[in-house]
Structure 1
């Protein structure tokens, strides 16, 4: 990840983005992560564990973890932008240490320091080359036997779920065009495990997760999901319109209308994309 903020082609760093991240965290935790902060049930952190959270953002995961572990567990969070750091740090969590830092070039002194590394939803910031650089760095800074967990959106199965002429098809084409334009990875469930294995990680496994988007699903989860994902899609509008809608939408108003059509399709049971959980371990 370059230190040039232009690499953040999808996500902003304003207060609206901070609220979106915080509002979305409980939904993704419940429906994608099955209410788990640490995905792998075999992972048990010792009282003197050291944990690293990459692309900390609004700090939702790091604060959740801090509420569950002893204060003797040291938690480091890094983000290329420190914009949200003041909302995370407080006298009540002095075991949290925040750094303005690129995940593709971690400090040399961090070698073999971490028991667990967490990263959520950074597909909009890392090219395939960046992913490869980052995974080499994560392998270096994990302790032998240390664990890595990732959560990302995944579009590998999109073509199997598309109805020709649907809003879903148009949004898929827009999203893929945006990712391809910026050399970003869309098939995370396929490419990321391959890279991890090639670098030397072991016990690499993936799990695809569906999530509710139907506002009429009965338990309220679909209504929340519809709001969370539609806000994410609206956050893409500046980048999409900067590229003249990739010849698919001619204006911001047309794009907004596409989102509303997509929400109607969600109520018919159409998913936008999967999420994938990926776990891996550095050999002992």
Structure 2
């Protein structure tokens, strides 16, 4: 895994990805709304774009009161399920005197070109985190609502708390898996997708009430909840158009065409026509809300 502390002794690289910064400044018009494990380039691009949409919605990369410590330096941050590492790349470039570790069970993240204060580890969080107790000042997870089963959530939360220092913060970021204000076509497609996850023992509604699991964990203070929503599509302004493009990119991927058409009991051609014609028309006439959530809490001293 390497000696993370040694990074602080080296001159750091300030590697800026121009695509990331272009997206952030323009709030451009690319892709993804829902996360399914995939390592193809389009999926990674969608995750990159989605990161900057969420940053725009919340006006920051996190809600826990940890920034002063990040600026001060010597702050150690862990993200689980880090995917292509966008969140960590963004933070590690900004807070060069702190250091960051990402965990992912698939090597989607950069293998070589990354700041010296950032390290990626290939591991499965459901097997436990390969770190000592009380090691991190800030632990973070996002987009895990459609990945973890309810029992896995209990274990992963306990692991995040275990490796967080007393006085440190744990933050979970995700989105509600359902829409308010959507039309019948959007609802039909969404229901088909939620059904595919339910068959994998994923509770698609759990993330909306995650604080109930948080509060059952020992040594956890008050659980804070922050919600931000936006309208998907042209009625939601520039951000709504980005989310719309992200979703359309996902729904028209080969994986979605195959899986969702099968779940809906229609041909792939019928499905593609529904997405590329009927859904686009419906969204232009409706105002479906996309709700994003963050939960954060401070680890308390052991009783």
Counterpart position of 1:76:
101
Number of residues paired by the alignment?
263
Q: CA deviation at 1:143?
A: 0.4
Looking at structure 1, the residues matched to 80 and 271 of structure 2 have their Cα atoms a distance apart, in angstroms, of 31
Q: Is the 8 A contact 2:229 2:289 kept in 1?
A: no
Deviations 1:28-81 (A, max 9, x none): 2112xx22012134653241110001111111100110122133x110001001
Q: Determine the structure 1 residue equivalent to 2:222.
A: 203
Aligned pairs for 1:124-203 (under 5 A) are: 124-155=146-177, 158=179, 161=181, 163=183, 166-200=184-218, 201-203=220-222
SS across alignment from 2:262: helix
Question: Are the structure 2 counterparts of residues 226 and 172 from structure 1 closer, same or farther at C-alpha, using a change threshold of 3 Å?
Answer: same
1:51 to 65, 70, 77: 77
CA deviation string 1:148-196 (max 9, x = no partner): 111112136x4x6455xx1022023212211211111211444421111
Cα distance in 2 for residues equivalent to 1:234 and 1:129: 32
* TM-score with structure 2 setting the length: 0.78
Q: Does 1:283 pair with 2:300?
A: yes
Partner of 1:10, secondary structure, is coil
Question: Aligned partners of 1:264 and 1:29: how far apart in 2?
Answer: 28
> How far is 1:244 from its partner?
6.1
Question: 1:111-159: CA deviations, max 9, x gaps?
Answer: 1101111212122221111111101111110101111111112136x4x
Return the alpha-carbon distance in structure 2 between the equivalents of residues 190 and 223 of structure 1.
24
1:219-257 Cα deviation digits (max 9, x unpaired): 52222121012223334x6267347622x2412222223
The aligned residue for residue 141 of structure 2 is 119
Q: Deviations over 1:2-52 (max 9, x none)?
A: xxxxxxx92211222111211222222112xx2201213465324111000
Q: In structure 2, how many angstroms separate the alpha carbons of the residues matched to 1:189 and 1:10?
A: 16
Gaps spanning 5+ residues in structure 1: where?
1-8
